[in-house]
Structure 1
Amino acid sequence: MAQSTSLRCRVLEGKDLPAKDVSGSSDPYCVVKVDNEVVARTATVWKSLNPFWGEEYTLRLPRGFRSLAIYVLDEDTIGHDDVIGKVSLSHQQISAQPRGIDSWLSLAPVDPDEEVQGEIHLEVQVPEQGHPRVLRCHLIGARDLAPRDPSGTSDPFARVSCCGHTQETAVIKKTRFPRWDEVLEFELAEGELGDAVLSVEVWDWDIVGKNDFLGRVELPLGAPGATKGWFQLLPFASSAEEPGGQLGSLRLAVRLVEDRVLPPHCYQPLIQLLAEPIRCPGQPPAGTALAVLEEVTSGESRQDVATKLVKIFLAQGLAVPFLDYLIARELARTKDPNTLFRSNSLASKSVEMFMKVVGLPYLHEVLKPVVNRIFEEKKYVELDPCKMELSRGRRISFKGSLSEAQVRESSLGLLQGYLGDVVDAIVGSVEKCPPLMRAAFKQLRRRVEEQFPSAQHEEVRYFSISGFLFLRFFAPAVLTPKLFGLREQHADPRTGRTLLLLAKALQSIGNLGLQLGKEPWMAPLHAVLLPSVTRVKAFLDGLVEVDSTQAGEEPVPAAPFGPSATIKEGYLHVREAEEPALLPRFAFKKRYFWLSTEALSYSKSPEWQGPRARCRIPVPQMRAVERVDEGTFPQPHVMQVVAQDGAGQLRTTYIQCKVRAPTPHPGDPGDTPPPLSPAPQGAPTQDTSKQPCGKRAVPGGGGKSPSP
């Protein structure tokens, strides 16, 4: 039996934040930390004291995590980012709310002495009764200490205190993984121990100014004997009360899920019970487990239930019959075709999650070129006269500000171009659409035609598919590309407005022209929308023309990417670990990388194809993926991938990663270590794995971390 701990964290919005810029505003973003280690970063909301982020993360955590902290910072183009405040939640606070926390929480000020991380390795020998009594404290080392110097390292030393006696270790320069290996002895008088406590503090030595606090540990000395192990460094106890509301507040939704995962065979009776109405469709549906589950599922948990059911039936090779079962029940309850699949029922949510799980590579192939071009061009597009800023037109013309008509004409041309490219990509993608999706849509259309066979409901057979494909798939991906893995960052306000107008146009096309929008300023687009509806109908007709043998469903792993899908690719720098030599090679070589669900591979150029042309590290052979200490190599942001080959030998590969933007250490505005951005999983929920504290590696230190 295994333990699974995950934390769902939604950073929703902030309000009443203090102004950090001379303009009287701020550019806030959030950093999410678990046990003082960065695991996620939101986008920056420019020029706002009441920002809305709406970002969600699923964090896979170690069982012993202690705290979750969300820091709000103000991004500065020049200089270091300013820390606004933080919200801290302990493991006990989160676990005490089984349904999760969803509320406004006041931001607290950030005290550098409270921003500690890492562990210290100690062995303490408490003496027996006798004269003299010698207390021995063996300070072996520490790991993952907080960086306090601009170089990204520290100069740590330890200070040990007991019964009024204090001793210090030597200073280890420029490291966050010091090894002292010193034994400090304290001669104590009889009866001096009693209820005494051994205090071990770790400090960063500074040649100028006062030393920086790195953490402390207190050990009771009541019982004689030896105590040895790794101990978490803790901050000083806070004596001052935190002012509430002075720094604004943050709305969070946090829920902790701690599960015990049983062996697969233990779940077979449940899976058989759920699949019974799918495999034996003749029985009355009212009393089946799926029907009961559909009735009792609440609105707040419907998406979670739909996600799990889709993955279960995908793994069983029954996803299309499962969706057909739910759709048939939904149609039986629907009398008005205009309300078909409008609600967030279990059937609607299941089809939506099915598209995101199965069709994400298809979505990327269709939309990514146009979305990337919109982000790169950063054109000003606005049709609403109430929101139009004529001064923005100076980038279009050197003759000064443009008139409202000129801005509208320019915006209309740009929007028509983007929309035409998107529609062309969609209607030409019939053969690119996964056969499993096409089979599900074919069955959906058949069910709708059976329920509404009259000629007056002819449009329903198209709308039943376009409602899912356009309104719940293409349009949301255009509106928020980051949540679908199309981009690594949210759009800036100008690009976001372009995406919003484009998403509105796609929604109108998805409604088959029946609802062209309530805004009168969208009317100039109607000349493009109505012809596109005819092309979309032809696309939907071709989409459902799929043979049953072509769309034969096999059990597939419930993962957001297919087995051969490339999740990310691009140039990085790599270096293989080598045996000690007189002339070691320190240079990192530039290589083109591919990351898939099967392997991490690289070659000299992207044109080199085939297994023999690429160096390949299969995922099953990986034993650890760890961040390397900043001071190990001349280059920053290096990680190591430790893999075990067929002969059982560990092989370490060092990779220099790319970082989009620096994120400051919240406790030290002068220090800017890189953010650990979670890799997009291609779904609205980002999934980030959190390593236990102390798993950042020194070179060759692989094998200590658990398998990924």
Structure 2
Amino acid sequence: MFKKHKQEWNPQKQLRSDPEQVKRLTDVLKCRSEHDKAVAKTGWDSYQKELHNTQMLKGLFKKLDPAVMKPIGEVKGEVQLSFKYDFNNEMLLVKIIKCRDLANKDIRGKMSNFYVKLELMPDPLNQGEKKTQVSQGTNCPRFDEIFGFHVAEFALGESRLLVQVCEHSLGGSDDVRGEVIIALNSFSFHESPTFTAWYTLNMETDLSISGDLDVSVAFQTPNTLLVTIHAASNLAPRDRGGAADPFVKIAIPGHDKIHQTRVLKGTLNPVWSETFEFPVHEEEFEDKYIVFHVIDKDRSSSNDSLGQCIVELKHFNPETGLNGTFELADLRNSNRIVTVTCRKARANGKIRIVDGIPIY
């Protein structure tokens, strides 16, 4: 019997014997080479811009198409609160009445178990958090519970109340499903002994952010706005190391340009002294503002926000310019209305800006 010898596969011999396959492979390599050159020519920033635009389009389609499921973790709903101040005992009384239309994380739509917690800021007496009982199996829970905080009358103007609606979890940690921060100086207890209202829930606000940003703004005719980032001070670190690698992004909503300072390593008091230009006409000042976002560069994970501040241009004097220091804060829940004008269509309209993102 003859032994069958196993024939080894030789890729070079196989390609030489199949000219059509060689041609196909050459075409593929050529296309890939042209694609790499195009990406290099366009630049990484342009690629990121296209990717961002694609993500925004996907978000718009989700809004336009009611058949698409809303994202899990969406913040929605309201909480009803009542306030009263006891002048004799210097006691702030807060009644948690009820909530409505809360969103839960269960994609099956199963009703959740919610409770509300309160915290006074600042809290020099260390009174801590106050919590309601957990309401079982409803997205419109009713509590009717009253809590008290000792606050001197003179301190009401500087005090805020943090109200968080939480979803109780038996197997893991509880989730904050929305919050509202109420400034107590908004109440006139001498004129009205009690105040009751519904409050719309927002995303969580990072109250640990601190520090200031030193900037200046000048105008150069006919249409150049010069924005200088001088320095930041007393930034709050985001990691356990106690340091940061900060940089600043500068944007004017409605303009394509987004500038960025260089990254300074290992400092909570960075000094940049960098100037950037924006094409802005003087007649646009009334509806424009500058957003400054201080960011901690993190190579191992996503970047961390160190705070934002906003400079309104409607109060800007182009002759004298502006030079000032602005307190940093978490502005994710800030809502703004801006006017957008289309000269070709001879029309204008208003859109809401949430965290620098247009909501149509």
User: For the superposition of Structure 1 and Structure 2, which TM-score range results when normalised by the shorter chain?
Assistant: 0.3 to 0.5
More strand by share: 2
The structure, 1 or 2, with the larger RCO (C-alpha pairs under 8 Å, 6+ apart) is 1
TM-score (norm. length: structure 1): 0.26
More helix by share: 1
TM-score (norm. length: structure 2): 0.46
